[in-house]
Amino acid sequence: MPVRSANLETTYIRLNGDLLRDTALAALPRALEQAGSELEAARRSAFIAFHQTTLPQYHEVIERLRLPPGRCLPTVAQHGNAASASLPLQLVTALENDRLEPGDTVALIGMASGFSAGVVLIRL
């Protein structure tokens, strides 16, 4: 019969979320600026979807990346952190609310654990 440790501390990893958030959000604009014209094109697109972990983080990303708030849509308050489904969730929500139509350019900004980021533009 397997023996389990009574000390649960040995089975968990604890991360400093504030450090990760501060580091990631501080580096994000600089990293995405390397994308050059893609980030500027994202700012001009009809709709911008990006990974949302919390509502304060949603507002901070808009501010730090200088995104037009009227072209973004917060879904994290209603649905929580949907992880990789957050981008399609925002697209579906925008479509259901008639914020997008065929031919619109949409920017998708992916951020993974604060250590990688990317911008892709699609046409509906």
Residue 49: name the closest of 35, 61, 60 by CA.
Answer: 61
pLDDT, tens digit (0-9, with 9 covering 90-100), for 79-106: 988 887 889 999 999 999 999 998 999 9
Q: In CATH, what number is assigned to the domain containing residue 109?
A: 3.40.47.10
48, part of any domain = yes
Indicate the pTM of the whole model. 0.72
Structural domain range at position 100 = 36-123
Split into its structural domains, the chain has a count of 1
Element housing 105 (H / E): strand 105-112
13, part of any domain = no
Tokens encoding 82: 């949907």
Confidence of residue 19 (pLDDT cuts 50, 70, 90): very low
